[in-house]
Chains A and B, each alone.
Chain A
Amino acid sequence: MLQNLRRRLSATTVVMWIIGLLLLAMVFWGSFQTLVSGKYSGRVWLDLIVFGIAQGSVYALIALGYTMVYGILRMINFAHGEVFMSGAYMGYFVATALENRGTLDSNLLLSLVLIVLGAVVTSVTIAVLLERIAYRPLRRAPRLVPLITAIGASFFLQYTFRGFFGSGVKGYPEAEGLKGTITLFGLQLLKTQVLVIVAAIILLIALYTFVQRTKTGKAMRAVSEDKDAAALMGINVDRIIVTTFIVGGSLAGAAGVLYSMLFRQVYFLTGFIPGLKAFTAAVLGGIGNIAGATMGGLFLGVAESLFPNLVLDGLGIPAPYQLKDALAFLLLVLVLIFRPTGILGERLATKKA
């Protein structure tokens, strides 16, 4: 038995597991301490969870863009965060224009539709341009080449937006109809959070229907299984890839608006951290897997909302919310150590696709 183990394990695997287990032990110890101390009431936890779900559903929408592109091209579209950011920006411009006319307060539904429409159109345009200019010529290049291109494109877009619209943070206007709270199932919830969650659910259902039921959706799945075989079956692979970028871009655009509603601000780096986190969420759920990205997003959103108070507080770390981004990445590392396939995914992280 021992000999068998020695044949199969290398020293590095062992070290990895030890690091991972130490981190896990810290997480459990911290949570235990916090819960035993009873520092926070149930009300606080509930608020954190609802906020986490709202935030997580935005991550899920962005993560879908990563996961779909990865499924089809086996590349990380590093600039996807900027696609998201561009939507948030356009949403801001439309929302401000509507606020100046008073439409935002008088006709909330129409305003929301217009804002989301503006954001989606912008994001889709950028996503499609990215594919056409930066990624398509590199489809057969070594893996690192398109990734570096994507990183370059990401910075180019960030600083283009900064050049166009200035480096300042823009405050999102708030509609009268979305202020305050609403009582659902006996729970007092912020209206914006409810709106974000509902909108995300609608979009997710629409996406599932599209991918599972429509002909294009089926072709998409075929291309992600095997590009060459799909091409032989008469599927126009280029068109499917563009469609993927369009769908991913639309979700990112919508996510941009929803995210800005939660945090009420946008600036040129808005896309960066959420983009990384959405990627984390996609890996968490198993990259290439649509249901996985949704679950990963929600899990990450809630974890990020709970963990600072739950874990770090228990470990006696002051101002724990400062480290919430660090926690998200830590989670990514843990997942890659213990389950590189993600929650629902196939084994992609360590073996060549």
Chain B
Amino acid sequence: MTATTLSRTAEKETTLHWSRVVGTGLIGGVVAIYVGLVGMIEALAGRVVITGLLTTGQVILLGVYLLMSYQAAQKLTGADAKAGPLSVVAGALAGLIISIMLALLVVIGQQINLRAMFINASPRLWELLTLGRGVPTGLVLLMALGAVLGALAGGLALLPSRLRRAVSLGLVAVPIVSILNTALFAGRGVSALGALLIFAFFTAISYGWSSVGGQARERVAALPSGQQRLLKMIGWSAVALGALALPLLGPYPSEIIDTVGIYVLMGLGLNIVVGFAGLLDLGYVAFFALGAYTIGILTSPEITWLPLHLTWWEALPIAILVGVISGTLLGIPVLQMRGDYLAIVTLGFGEIIRLIFLSDWLKPLVGGSNGITRIPRAVPPPQGFSDQQVLWYIVLAGIVVAAYIATRLKYSRIGRNWMAMREDEDVAQAMGIDLVKTKLLAFATGAALSAVGGAIFATKLTSIYPHSFNLLVSINVLAVIIVGGMGSIPGVLVGALALVGLPELLREFAEYRLLVYGAVLVFMMLKRPEGLLPEARRKLELHEGEEV
């Protein structure tokens, strides 16, 4: 009896699930066709990653091939067992299936005019998919290539996990470095040799770090606390110096960095509301808009009904005040509602604010669809520097202050009350916490930071229009903190870099930005709800030495 059970388990471990491989391949094919029909391949075909070899569109397709074939190779035996060389075959099979499905799309597309529905089902797409070689040759080539790519991905599954991680990082690094190079320094992709070097560099670094990183960390932990603190200070000084030096990259990169910075600032604010207090606020843009419009009204010489014409600095405290007051006023009616109602109602508020700014009703006051222009700069730039370069220091100051406030609050009575409320509202109330007051504090703090973001945004663009303040801003910030990790302060930084920085660099990508955000939100919630850099709790009981 026991023996049969044993042998059966043993058998189970080595069972090969070829049907799963085929299934994964088919899903990969659907994804590849989706990527094609949604227009990504065509739109990004003009952006070179490796000169003469690869465009960004192809990189995306390549990603689909590698990822799905790798998945297929893993599925052959399940995650634990290794299939050996067979996983290469599985990968190749999946790759081939993806190619066959793409080929079918091309064949069908050439018989029937799909373009009546799908605007991207164009001859250009067929040309790209057949690698410019026409139907029979190109399709054969596509299939061969698919099988080869699949086999490579399957081979990746054979590597030891440390090496595999290093190689994957190297592969991801190539397009990112190339895109950075193109966007920031007006390069035209990298050469094949350059790509190889980048790949080798990142793979080596990652592999090396995974073998010595642990040791290094241990050694640091073994140091006396004075030296540890010194190391920490050196680390922070390096970060600070790096942050201060960023504008030296030039005017155009500075503009992007400013934008990312504004999102970091708003992310820190929304993180307090959503991450700490667990209140899903989808109307966050309302306070951003109010901050920006307060600045506009108080500073622009266009405004004749309130001829204050303050400087940006004089108007800033008022903008913050407006944020706090409006956050409190809007908060009172909505905060007694349960979480999901709150989301929809705040979303409604965000829309109301935008519609009111847009309407003819307030046009004499705030310019309607013409917005407010001629908002003064906060600081005149010194000779040889652009406005955007100087603005970074204001953004940076905002981020530092916001991060400081968020950290202080997080480890205080208020922060603990927020988290308790997030975990279980009823019990939090039974602990004597006044829910409405505590929620209002979160709401108002978040609103104030959003208003600061708006104030900086206004002086960055020097003109504001109602359409800059639509719901998408709220969704953008939400995606940033979810990808980074709700409640995690460093997470906001990572989230903003990935979700705001990269798309800013890839201009052609703008059209697909929200598509990707949507997919990212779904994916993160399904697979990694805690985010890339999950929130950590500070040790309080046993680490008396650390500041409390």
Contact = CB atoms under 8 A, between A and B. Distances in A.
Question: Are A and B a genuine interacting pair, yes or no?
Answer: yes
Interface of A: 10, 12-13, 15-16, 19-20, 75-76, 93, 133-134, 137-138, 141, 143-149, 151-160, 162-166, 276, 279-280, 283, 317-320, 322-323, 325-326, 329-330, 332-333, 336-337, 340, 348-352
B365 to A, nearest CB: 13
Contact of A351 (B338, B348, B358): B338
A271 to B, nearest CB: 13
Contact of B345 (A10, A155, A320, A336): A336
Given A15-B332, A137-B526, A349 B518 contact: no
Contacts of B526: 134, 137-138, 149
Interface stretch (B113-121, B227-235, B539-547): B113-121
Contact of B358 (A158, A164, A322, A349): A322
Q: Tell me the dominant secondary structure on chain B's binding face.
A: helix
A141 B530 CA distance: 12
Given A16-B336, A143-B339, A349-B338, A151 B475 contact: yes
A77 to B, nearest CB: 11
B340 A148 contact: no
A322 B515 contact: no
Nearest to B352: A326
A153 B475 CA distance: 12
B435 to A, nearest CB: 9
Contacts of A333: 333-334, 345, 348-349
Contacts, number: 172
Contacts of B119: 164-166
Contacts of A166: 119
A133 B522 CA distance: 9
Interface residues of B, number: 58
Nearest to B513: A159
Contact of A326 (B117, B336, B355, B478): B355
A95 B518 CA distance: 30
Contacts of A351: 338
A110 B336 CA distance: 51
For the complex of A and B, list the 6 residue pairs with the smallest distance between their C-beta atoms, beginning with the closest. A152-B521, A156-B518, A155-B518, A329-B348, A163-B38, A159-B515
Given A138-B525, A145-B529, A153-B521, 5 more contacts: A20-B333, A148-B521, A152-B518, A160-B38, A336-B334
A283 B338 contact: no
B345 A156 contact: no
Given A147-B340, A322-B358, A322-B360, A155 B333 contact: no
A163 B348 contact: no
Contact of A165 (B118, B278, B338): B118
Contacts of B117: 93, 164-165
Nearest to A332: B348
Nearest to A10: B436
Nearest to A277: B348
A19 B333 contact: yes
29 contacts: A10-B436, A12-B336, A12-B436, A13-B336, A133-B522, A144-B278, A147-B339, A148-B478, A152-B525, A156-B522, A158-B518, A160-B38, A163-B38, A164-B37, A164-B117, A165-B117, A276-B347, A276-B348, A279-B344, A318-B361, A319-B359, A322-B361, A326-B352, A326-B355, A333-B349, A337-B333, A350-B337, A352-B338, A352-B426
Contact of B332 (A12, A154, A325): A12
Contacts of B146: none
B40 interface: yes
A141 B529 contact: yes
Contact of B352 (A15, A149, A329): A329
B240 interface: no
B519 interface: yes
A323 B359 contact: yes
A152 B359 contact: no
Interface in B513-541: 514-515, 517-523, 525-526, 529
Contacts of B127: none
Contact of B340 (A20, A137, A143, A325): A143
B361 A323 contact: yes
A147 B120 CA distance: 32
Nearest to A15: B332
B32 interface: no
B352 A330 contact: yes
Nearest to B349: A329
Nearest to B369: A322
Given A156-B515, A323-B359, A164 B38 contact: yes
Nearest to B517: A155
Interface string B463-478: 0000000000001001
A152 B120 CA distance: 24
B201 interface: no
Contacts of B520: 152
Nearest to B282: A151
A108 B521 CA distance: 43
B547 to A, nearest CB: 32
B280 interface: yes
Contacts of B280: 144, 147-148
Contacts of A143: 339-340
Nearest to A75: B340
B356 interface: yes
B38 A144 contact: no
Contacts of A160: 34, 38, 515
B514 A155 contact: yes
B367 interface: no
Contacts of B13: none
B332 A19 contact: yes
Interface in B132-160: none
B343 interface: yes
A148 B480 CA distance: 13
A329 B119 CA distance: 35
Contact of A163 (B359, B515, B521, B525): B515
B89 interface: no
A149 B38 CA distance: 21
B512 interface: yes
A75 B119 CA distance: 35
A66 B39 CA distance: 32
Contacts of B314: none
A153 B522 CA distance: 6
A54 to B, nearest CB: 23
Contacts of A348: 338
Query: Which of B40, B360, B518 counts the most A-chain CB atoms under 10 A from its CB?
Result: B518
A322 B332 CA distance: 27
Contacts of B508: none
A15 to B, nearest CB: 5
Q: Which of B329, B359, B426 has the most CB of A within 10 A?
A: B359
B495 to A, nearest CB: 14
Contacts of B387: none
A10 B440 CA distance: 14
Given A147-B340, A336-B341, A155 B521 contact: yes
A326 B436 contact: no
Nearest to B360: A319
